[in-house]
């Protein structure tokens, strides 16, 4: 139990507003519940949430200590009362999630509790699969990332061994990632390979494609095939043979066929397309193609997982 005495600077505000500021990690729904069931008391008694506080009032809070901590990305899961994310597949070791466009995989720098990893942590914490107080260092983690405005499959590891194996498989390119994208124009040839060198400007979070190797640039290879052409747009299926920042977006833009809706490398949506969110890009299929020892994840070898048809495909093609 923690006890607080109201001073002159806190007097006059509502009880629930004071609690929200004092216990920043407590979810709003839990805050209101604790006031209702009298785990938060005013002068030793239960009170309504909109009660105005007076100088000298004493508030007792019967709330777990972790909710009083300073908010960080590591403890943001505590702020989430109802985890929201789409599970494509789950077992004892991993979760495959279908991340929607507009959701961050991790915090962008400022404290943002509603990220994909925070929702996954909240889900595992609340159903007892992850017990932070019993762990010395491990926390559930994402094995791959996709851009905020790109939708599709993201892998999360539930334990340290799965994380180690997945990181190795990604490094060895034993996980096949297939994307769908809507690009301007018609690709020539219809099926082919985009290959070059990508240089990242960290200050602008933008990458540039170079035809020749230069200092700081990394090889980028994307194989593609045209699936359908309609109304000046092409639906292309892409396989990443390397995993560089903004690789598909930058390479197609450099080839003269930017992705629809890509505000950074392409063109914004217009007309009926405005129902869409983010660039027209989705990591829609993932296959495990293990060639080396895969330990506790050997059962995944040969398996393929796919998300439902992306909205931009339904609307545009």
> 316: which DSSP letter?
H
All domains of the chain, ordered by start, with CATH? 2-68 (3.10.290.10), 76-171 (3.30.2350.10), 175-316 (3.30.2350.10)
Q: Judge whether 231 and 316 are in contact, CB under 8 Å.
A: yes
Q: pLDDT by residue (tens digit) across 168-180?
A: 999 999 999 999 9
Question: 222-264: per-residue pLDDT in tens?
Answer: 999 999 999 999 999 999 999 898 999 999 999 999 999 998 8
For residues 73 and 118, the answer to whether their CB atoms sit within 8 Å is yes
Exposed/middle/buried for residue 13 (C-beta within 10 Å: 0-12, 13-18, 19+)? middle
Distance, CA of 227 to CA of 25 (rounded, Å): 47
In tens, the pLDDT along 182-225 reads 999 999 999 999 999 999 888 888 899 998 888 889 999 999 99
| Nearest one of 155, 69, 172 to 120, comparing CA atoms | 155
User: Measured over all CA atoms, what is the biggest interatomic distance in the chain, rounded to whole angstroms?
Assistant: 77
Confidence of residue 273 (pLDDT cuts 50, 70, 90): low
Asked if 278 and 312 count as a contact pair (C-beta separation under 8 A), the reply is no
Q: How many CB atoms lie within 10 A of CB 176?
A: 14
Q: How far is CA 27 from CA 16, 72, 80, 102, in A?
A: 12, 15, 6, 22
What ranges in 39-115 are assigned the alpha helix state H?
none
Confidence (pTM): 0.88
Per-position DSSP letters for 261-306, written without gaps between them: T-TTTSB---GGGGG--SSSEEEEEEEE---S--GGGGGGTT-EEE
């Amino acid at each position: 139990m923690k006890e607080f005495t109201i001073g002159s600077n806190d007097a006059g505000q509502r009880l629930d507003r004071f609690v929200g500021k004092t216990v920043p990690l407590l979810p709003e729904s839990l805050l209101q519940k604790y006031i209702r069931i009298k785990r938060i008391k005013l002068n030793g008694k239960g009170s309504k949430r909109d009660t105005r506080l007076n100088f000298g009032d004493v508030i007792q809070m019967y709330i777990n200590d972790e909710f009083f901590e300073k908010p960080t990305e590591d403890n943001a899961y505590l702020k989430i009362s109802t985890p929201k994310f789409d599970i494509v597949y789950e077992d004892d070791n991993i979760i495959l999630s279908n991340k929607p466009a507009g959701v961050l995989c991790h915090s962008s720098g400022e404290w943002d509790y509603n990220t994909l990893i925070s929702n996954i942590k909240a889900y595992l914490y609340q159903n007892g699969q992850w017990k932070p107080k019993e762990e010395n260092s491990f926390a559930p983690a994402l094995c791959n990332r996709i851009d905020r405005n790109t939708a599709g499959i993201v892998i999360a590891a539930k334990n340290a061994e799965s994380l180690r194996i997945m990181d190795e498989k990604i490094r060895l390119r034993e996980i096949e990632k297939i994307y769908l994208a809507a690009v301007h124009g018609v690709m020539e040839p219809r099926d082919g390979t985009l290959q070059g060198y990508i240089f990242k400007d960290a200050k602008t979070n933008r990458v540039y494609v170079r035809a020749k190797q230069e200092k700081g640039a990394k090889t980028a290879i994307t194989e593609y095939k045209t699936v359908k052409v309609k109304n000046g747009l092409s639906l292309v299926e892409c396989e990443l043979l390397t995993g560089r920042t903004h690789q598909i977006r930058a390479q197609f833009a450099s080839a003269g066929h930017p992705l629809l809706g890509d505000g950074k490398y392409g063109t914004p949506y217009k007309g009926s397309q405005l129902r869409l969110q983010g660039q027209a890009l989705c990591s829609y299929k993932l296959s495990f193609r293990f060639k080396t020892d895969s330990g506790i994840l050997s059962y995944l070898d040969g398996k393929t997982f796919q998300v439902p048809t992306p909205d931009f495909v339904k609307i545009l093609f």
